[in-house]
C-alpha cells in the first residue's frame, strides 16, 4: 500500500512531462554533458517573453491574424477515394501479417506500422499538411465499398440508429485510454499476434459503430484516429481541403499560420477536453516513468530497473493520476485567472472549455519531441518489414538488403542533434500555445476590457505553460532507466 501511495503522490506531484515508450530501439542512454540548464532557462524565458510581447501588442492584432492562399493542386477527388480504399485493403493485409508474418517485432510490419508510421510518422505529416486522415482513412474506404455494394443491390443503406448527443466523443476517450495503457503499461506492446487480435477487435467495433450509427457519426465520436488526427491537424502550417474547382472537385492546399484554426475553435465539450488532457498527460507520464526519480519513488534501483511486468500496478496508477494532475493544474490556472481579472462564474466556465485548445500545440509538440529519436530508427525497420510482410522472402519495396542505421541512437553527436531538435520543438509548441491563448482572450468580448485585466487573466495559464516547458526540458536531459 505504501508503494502504491507513493506512486500516486509521485504522479500527481510531477505535474507533467513529455515522452512515451514502445518500439524504442535505443539500447543505451546518455547523460547529457551539454549545459542543459541554460537551455531550460532559455526555453522557459522564451515562453515568458512571448507572453510579455503579446501583452503590449494591440489586442486586434491576433483577432483575425493569419493569411490563407488557396491553390488547387490538381488531385482529382476520384484518386482520393481510391487512396482510402487502398488504405483499407492495406490495413487488412497488415493485420493478417500480424498473424502470419515474423514473430520478431522488428521484422513484422504490424507493430512497426502502428507505433512508428501511423502513431508518429502520420502525426508529423498532419502537423505539416493538415488532416490527411480525412482522405487516407481506411474506414472511409470500407464505407465506400459498402455503399457501392448496397447500391448495386438496389437498397441504399441507412443506419438504423442515431448516436445520442450526450455520447459526444466519450467512446474515443475510452479507446485512447486503452490505447495508451497498451503502449505504456502492457508488458508486450510490440507483440505482433497480440496487436493482430486487438486490431481485429478494433475493426469489428469500428465497422459495427459505422453500420449502426452511420460512418461520419461514428468517426466523430468513437474512431480514435479520426478524433486524434482531427485535433492534431488544427496546428498545421498547411491544410488539405476539398474544394469544388471548375468542372471537377479536387483536393487543394491551404497555406496559413500554425494554430490559426484553434483561434476560431468554439468552446470544447467535456469529452474533447478529456481527450486532449489524456493525450498530453500520457506522453508526459511516459517520460517521467523512465526517470531515476520514478524508479526510486517506487523503491527500485534505477541502475537495475525491473521489467514492465513488475511495474504494471504503479504505472497503471500513474497513468490515471497524470491526467488528473494536469486537469487540476489547468483548472486552477484558469479559475485563478478569472479571479484576478474579475470575471464572473459563467465566464469562468466558458474559459475552462475555451482555453483548453491552447494545450493542443503543447500536446502535439511533446508527441513529436518524444518520438523523434526512436522514429528515426523504427521507421527504417518498418519500411524494411513492409518489403516482406509475411516473411515469405518477398522484396516488394526493394529493401530486403537495406541495412538499418541504428547507430543514430548510439553516437553522442546524433544524440546532441536530437536534443537540439527536441528543445526547439518543445519551445516552439509552448510559444504557439501562449499565442493561441492570447488570441482567444482578445477574440471574445467577455474577456476584453482593460489591458491589465487581460494580462491578469492570462498570467496564471502562462505561468503553467512556462513551468511545463521547464519540466519538459528537464525530462529530456535527466538520466533515464530502461
Q: What is the per-residue pLDDT across 63-88, written as a single tens digit (0 to 9) for each?
A: 544 444 445 455 566 777 888 999 99
**Mean pLDDT, residues 195-207:** 97
Query: Cell numbers at residue 144, please?
Result: 465506400
Of the two residues 239 and 302, the one the predictor is more confident about is 302
Edge-first strand order for the sheet with 238-245 is 69-76, 248-255, 238-245
Checking if the pLDDT of 383 tops 70, the result is yes
Confidence at residue 305, expressed as pLDDT on a 0 to 100 scale: 81
Q: How far apart are CA 37 and CA 477, in angstroms?
A: 9
Which of 279, 296, 187 is closest to 235 using CA atoms?
Answer: 279
Query: Cell numbers at residue 145, please?
Result: 465499398
pLDDT, tens digit, for every residue of 1-41?
344 334 443 443 433 333 333 444 444 444 444 455 555 56
**Cell 501511423 sits on residue:** 118
CB-count exposure of residue 401 (10 Å: 0-12, 13-18, 19+): exposed
CB atoms within 10 A of CB 90: 17
- Distance in Å from the first CA to the final CA of the chain: 25
**Mean pLDDT, residues 131-143:** 90
pLDDT, tens digit, for every residue of 158-190?
889 999 999 999 999 999 999 999 999 999 999
- Provide the pLDDT confidence category of residue 312 given band limits of 50, 70 and 90: very high
Confidence at residue 301, expressed as pLDDT on a 0 to 100 scale: 81
Q: How far apart are CA 3 and CA 1, in angstroms?
A: 5
Domains of the chain, by residue range, sit at 2-477
Confidence at residue 426, expressed as pLDDT on a 0 to 100 scale: 85
- At residue 362's C-alpha, the angle toward residues 360 and 364, to 5°, is 70
31 phi and psi angles, rounded to 5 deg: -90, 115
pLDDT, tens digit, for every residue of 321-367?
999 999 999 999 988 988 887 777 667 788 888 888 888 998 998 89
Please state the three-class secondary structure of 116-153 as a single string.
HHHHHHHHHHHHHHCCCHHHHCHHHHHHHHHHHHHHHC
**Cell 540548464 sits on residue:** 37
- Provide the pLDDT confidence category of residue 409 given band limits of 50, 70 and 90: confident
Which of 132, 153, 154, 39 is closest to 87 using CA atoms?
Answer: 132
Q: Among 107-116, 123-132, 327-336, 424-433, which stretch is predicted with the lowest mean pLDDT?
A: 424-433
18 phi and psi angles, rounded to 5 deg: -160, 95
| Four-residue CA torsion sign, 45, 124, 279, 439 | positive
Confidence at residue 20, expressed as pLDDT on a 0 to 100 scale: 37
Confidence at residue 22, expressed as pLDDT on a 0 to 100 scale: 41
250 phi and psi angles, rounded to 5 deg: -135, 165
Average pLDDT along the chain:
80
Amino acid at each position: 500500500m505504501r508503494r502504491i501511495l507513493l506512486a500516486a503522490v509521485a504522479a500527481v506531484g510531477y505535474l507533467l512531462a513529455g515522452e512515451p515508450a514502445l518500439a524504442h530501439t535505443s539500447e543505451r542512454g546518455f547523460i547529457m554533458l551539454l549545459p542543459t540548464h541554460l537551455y531550460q532557462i532559455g526555453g522557459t524565458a522564451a515562453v515568458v517573453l512571448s507572453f510579455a510581447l503579446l501583452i503590449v501588442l494591440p489586442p486586434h492584432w491576433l483577432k483575425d491574424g493569419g493569411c490563407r492562399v488557396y491553390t488547387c493542386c490538381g488531385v482529382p477527388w476520384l484518386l482520393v477515394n481510391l487512396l482510402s480504399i487502398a488504405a483499407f485493403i492495406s490495413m487488412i493485409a497488415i493485420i493478417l501479417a500480424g498473424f502470419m508474418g515474423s514473430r520478431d517485432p522488428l521484422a513484422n510490419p504490424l507493430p512497426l506500422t502502428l507505433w512508428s508510421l501511423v502513431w508518429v510518422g502520420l502525426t508529423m505529416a498532419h502537423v505539416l499538411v493538415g488532416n490527411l486522415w480525412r482522405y487516407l482513412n481506411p474506414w472511409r474506404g470500407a464505407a465506400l465499398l459498402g455503399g457501392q455494394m448496397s447500391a448495386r443491390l438496389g437498397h441504399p443503406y441507412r443506419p438504423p440508429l442515431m448516436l445520442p448527443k450526450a455520447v459526444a466523443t466519450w467512446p474515443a476517450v475510452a479507446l485512447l485510454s486503452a490505447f495508451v495503457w497498451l503502449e505504456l503499461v502492457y508488458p508486450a506492446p510490440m507483440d505482433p499476434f497480440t496487436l493482430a487480435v486487438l486490431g481485429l477487435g478494433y475493426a469489428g467495433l469500428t465497422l459495427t459503430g459505422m453500420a449502426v450509427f452511420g460512418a461520419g457519426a461514428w468517426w466523430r465520436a468513437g474512431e480514435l484516429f479520426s478524433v486524434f488526427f482531427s485535433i492534431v491537424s488544427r496546428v498545421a502550417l498547411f491544410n488539405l481541403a476539398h474544394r469544388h474547382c471548375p468542372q471537377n472537385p479536387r483536393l487543394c492546399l491551404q497555406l496559413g499560420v500554425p494554430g490559426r484554426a484553434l483561434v476560431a475553435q468554439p468552446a470544447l465539450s467535456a469529452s474533447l477536453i478529456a481527450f486532449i488532457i489524456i493525450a498530453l498527460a500520457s506522453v508526459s507520464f511516459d517520460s517521467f516513468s523512465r526517470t531515476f526519480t520514478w524508479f526510486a519513488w517506487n523503491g527500485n534501483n534505477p541502475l537495475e530497473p525491473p521489467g514492465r511486468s513488475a511495474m504494471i500496478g504503479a504505472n497503471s496508477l500513474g497513468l490515471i493520476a497524470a491526467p488528473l494532475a494536469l486537469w487540476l493544474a489547468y483548472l486552477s490556472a484558469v479559475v485563478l485567472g478569472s479571479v484576478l481579472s474579475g470575471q464572473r462564474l459563467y465566464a469562468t466556465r466558458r474559459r475552462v472549455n475555451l482555453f483548453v485548445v491552447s494545450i493542443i500545440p503543447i500536446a502535439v509538440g511533446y508527441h513529436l519531441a518524444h518520438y523523434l529519436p526512436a522514429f528515426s530508427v523504427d521507421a527504417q525497420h518498418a519500411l524494411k518489414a513492409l518489403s516482406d510482410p509475411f516473411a515469405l522472402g518477398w522484396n516488394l519495396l526493394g529493401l530486403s538488403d537495406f541495412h538499418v542505421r541504428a547507430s543514430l541512437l548510439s553516437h553522442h553527436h546524433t544524440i546532441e542533434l536530437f536534443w537540439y531538435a527536441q528543445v526547439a520543438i518543445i519551445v516552439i509548441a509552448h510559444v504557439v500555445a501562449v499565442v493561441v491563448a492570447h488570441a482567444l482572450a482578445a477574440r471574445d468580448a467577455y474577456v476584453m476590457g482593460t489591458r491589465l485585466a487581460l494580462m491578469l487573466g492570462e498570467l496564471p495559464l502562462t505561468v503553467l505553460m512556462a513551468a511545463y516547458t521547464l519540466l519538459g526540458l528537464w525530462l529530456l536531459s535527466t538520466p533515464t532507466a530502461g
